[in-house]
Amino acid sequence: MKPALRRGWRDLNTVQFGMTPAHALTLGPMDTATGSFLDLLNGTRGLELLREEGRRMDLPDGHVEGLVRRLARAGLLDDTKGGGPAADTLRRKKEVLDRLRPDLASLSLTTSEPGEAIDRLAARRSLRVQVRGAGRVGAVVASLLSGAGVGEVDVRDVGRVEPWDVAPGGLSAEAVGDRRDEAARRAARRSAPDRPPRRGPKAAPGEGGAGHSLVIIAPRDDVAVHAPSPSAAEPLIASGTPHLYVGVVEGTGVVGPLVLPGETGCAGCLNEGRADRDPAWPRLVAQWRSGSGRTREVRPCDLALATTVAGLAAAHALAFLDGRIPSSAGARWEVSLPGLSWHARPVWAHPACPCGATEKGEREHPSEYEGSHETMAEQGPSKELRRKADTERLAGTWRAHV
Ligand SMILES: [Zn+2]
C-alpha cells in the first residue's frame, strides 16, 4: 500500500486513507481482520504469500484477490518493482533516489497505477527543459527543476551576474561578475549531483524550442513580465513547444499562462484581450517597452515574492512534465504584496491571434496533451469535474472523503 497516505479508523468498520480533502479516501465496510491484513501490504510480500497469510487469518477464499483488486482500482497500491526499465535504472542509483524520496511519495498521491509514480519520476531524467532568463526568478526555477529530477535544464540569458541577481537557491554571491547563463547552469547542476550526462551538441535545440519538452520564460525585465511579447513567442508557437511564463512586476508575482500552442491562450491572445478591454493598452505597452531598455535603475523584485513564484512555476512545470494539465494552462496566477492573496486571471484564446487556439477553444479542455479524462479532472480547476471523476473512480464501496 502507498505509505504516503496516513491511515485512520473513522469508526469500527471504516478506514480513511489520507488526511487532506484533495487526496483522502475512505474504505468501508471493512471488518477488523481485513483491516489488520492491510498491514501486510507493505511491499515485502507477493500475491502468493499474501494468499497464504489470508488463509492463516481465516479470510474467505478469493477475499485477498478481491481486496487487492479494489485497492489497486482506488489507486492505493504501489508496486515496489514496477515502472519499467527507466525505473529500474533509477532504483539502482540509490543516492539519487534517496534524495528524491519525498517527491516519489508525492507522485504516488497523484498517480493511480502501481509503479506509475517511479515511472514518472524516472521519466523526468530524460526530459529537456529550457529556462529563458536567469535573474532572481529564472535561476531558482532552473535549480528547482534540476533538483526535482529533470535530466537537462538549459538556461539562457545574457550579461554577467549583478549583486541584485543573487538569491538563495539561485545565483550565489560568489557568482557576481560571472556570465549569468553559466552561473545559473552551475547552480542547477549543484542542486542535482549525479544528473544524467548531457546529450551531444548535435541535438542542441535552437531558438524555436524544438527538442524541449517545455520552455520557461522568466524575464528579468518587468515590462516583459507584465506584457509578454507575442513576437518573441512566435518560434515556440510555430514549433508547437509548450511554454510557461513566470516573473515579478512591481509588487506582483505572476505564474502563467502555460501555453499549449494551438490549444490554450498565448502571449498574443493575452495582448489582444487586453487591447479589447482597454483601448489605451497598446499605447501604454509601447511606452513601457521603449523605456525599459533605457532605464538603468534596478527594478523592484521582492526576494520572497520572487522565490514564491519560482516555486509555484516549477510546480506547474513539473505537473505538466509529469503528464498533467495544471491550472496555469489558459490562466495567469497572480499574487501581490502585501496582501498576498492568489487569484487566477483567465487568458482566453483570441480570434485575432494567429496561434489558432480559438478553433479549439470551444472544446472543454485540450485533448492532445491530456493523459486521460481523470487526469484533467484531478488537476484542473473545476471542482465539479474533480468530484465527478472521484465518483466514477470510487463507485461501489469506495467513496471520496471531502
Ligand atoms: Zn494566441
What is the C-alpha separation between 70 and 57, in angstroms, rounded? Answer: 19
* Contact call for residues 148 and 314 (beta carbons, < 8 A): yes
Instruction: Give 178 Cα–ligand 1 centroid separation in angstroms.
Output: 37
Residues 192 and 307 in one domain: yes
CA–centroid distance, 351 to ligand 1, in Å, is 8
What is the average pLDDT across 112-137? 95
Kindly state whether residues 206 and 144 are assigned to the same domain: yes
Separation of CA 203 and ligand 1 centre (Å): 28
How many whole angstroms from 108 Cα to the centroid of ligand 1? 35
**How far is the centre of ligand 1, averaged over its atoms, from the C-alpha of 355 (Å)?**
4
Residue 312 CA, ligand 1 centroid: distance in Å: 23
Domain shared by 191 and 290, yes or no: yes
Nearest to 299 by CA among 157, 177, 164: 164
φ, ψ of residue 132 in degrees (nearest 5): -100, 110
Task: Evaluate whether residue 2 is within a structural domain.
Answer: no
pLDDT of residue 291: 79
Q: Higher pLDDT residue, 120 or 381? A: 120
Residues 146 and 55 in one domain: no
Pairing between β-strand 243-249 and β-strand 152-156 as defined by DSSP bridges: unpaired
Which CA distances in Å does 288 have to 80, 90, 126, 221, 333?
55, 48, 40, 11, 22
pLDDT of residue 400: 37
Q: Is residue 57 part of a domain?
A: yes
Q: Which of 56-60, 200-204, 225-229 has the lowest mean pLDDT?
A: 200-204
Q: Which pLDDT score is estimated for 206?
A: 54
Q: Are residues 263 and 160 in the same domain?
A: yes
Whether residue 211 sits in one domain with residue 298: yes
- The answer to whether residues 224 and 143 belong to one domain is yes
Instruction: Please state the rounded mean pLDDT for residues 345-369.
Output: 76
Quote the domain boundaries for residue 227: 125-371
DSSP string, 109-128: HH--STTHHHHHHHHHTT-E
Q: 266: CA distance to ligand 1 center in Å?
A: 4
Q: What is the 161 CA–ligand 1 centroid distance (Å)?
A: 33
Q: In the prediction, which pLDDT does 390 show?
A: 40
Average pLDDT of span 292-321 = 92
The alpha carbon of 92 and the centre of ligand 1 are apart by a number of angstroms equal to 44
Confidence of residue 366 (pLDDT cuts 50, 70, 90): very low
45 alpha carbon – ligand 1 mean position (Å): 53
Average pLDDT over residues 39-53: 88
Query: What is the pLDDT at residue 46?
Result: 85
Provide the 3-class DSSP secondary structure of residue 139: helix
Cβ neighbours for 272, distance < 8 A, ≥ 6 positions apart: 350, 352, 353
* CATH code for position 194: 3.40.50.720
Cα(126)–Cα(120) distance, integer angstroms: 10
State in Å: Cα 244 to ligand 1 middle: 13
- The alpha carbon of 142 and the centre of ligand 1 are apart by a number of angstroms equal to 26
Q: CB neighbours of 375 closer than 8 A, spacing ≥ 6? A: 323, 324, 325
pLDDT of residue 33: 86
pLDDT digits (tens, 9 = 90+) for 20-34: 999 999 988 888 888
Residue % of the chain over a pLDDT of 70 = 85
Residue 378 covered by a domain: no
CA of 262 to the centre of ligand 1 (A): 7
The confidence score (pLDDT) of residue 361 equals: 52
What separation in Å is there between the alpha carbon of 124 and the centre of ligand 1?
28
- Whether pLDDT at 282 is above 60: yes
> Using an 8 Å Cβ cutoff, are 281 and 368 in contact?
no
CA-based nearest residue to 179, from 139, 211, 145: 139
Half-sphere exposure (Cβ direction) of 188: Cα atoms closer than 13 Å? 29
Q: Is 33 a domain residue?
A: yes
Give the model confidence (pLDDT) of 254-268 as tens digits.
999 999 999 999 999
- Laid out side by side, the sheet with 252-259 consists of 152-156, 128-132, 214-217, 243-249, 252-259, 331-336, 343-346
Q: 167 — phi, psi (to 5°)?
A: -150, 140
Tell me the mean pLDDT in the region 62-89: 89
CA of 29 to the centre of ligand 1 (A): 51
96 and 164, same domain (yes or no):
no
* Distance of CA 384 from the midpoint of ligand 1 (Å): 27
Largest CA distance in the chain: 80
Q: Residue 377 falls within a domain, yes or no?
A: no
User: Which cell goes with 114?
Assistant: 502501481
Q: Are residues 248 and 285 part of one domain? A: yes
CA distances from 369 to 37, 310, 365 (A): 40, 23, 10
> What confidence category does residue 385 fall into, taking pLDDT thresholds of 50, 70 and 90?
very low
CA of 359 from ligand 1 middle (Å) equals 11
Q: Which of 331, 224, 223, 194 is nearest to 273 (CA)?
A: 331
Classify residue 379: in a domain, yes or no: no
Q: Are residues 349 and 260 in the same domain?
A: yes
With CA atoms as reference, report the closest residue to 327 among 347, 309, 311. Answer: 347
Instruction: Count CB-CB contacts under 10 A for residue 389.
Output: 19
Judge whether 339 lies within some domain: yes
Residue 43 domain-assigned (yes or no): yes
CA separation for the pair 176, 86 (Å, rounded):
38
Please give the distance, rounded to the nearest whole angstrom, from the Cα atom of residue 342 to the centre of ligand 1: 24
Co-location of 260 and 218 in the same domain: yes
As for how many domains the chain has, the answer is: 3
Question: 278: CA distance to ligand 1 center in Å?
Answer: 18
Is the model's pLDDT at 384 over the cut of 50? no
Residues 210, 285, single domain; the answer is yes
Q: Ligand 1: distance of its center to the CA of 276 in Å?
A: 14
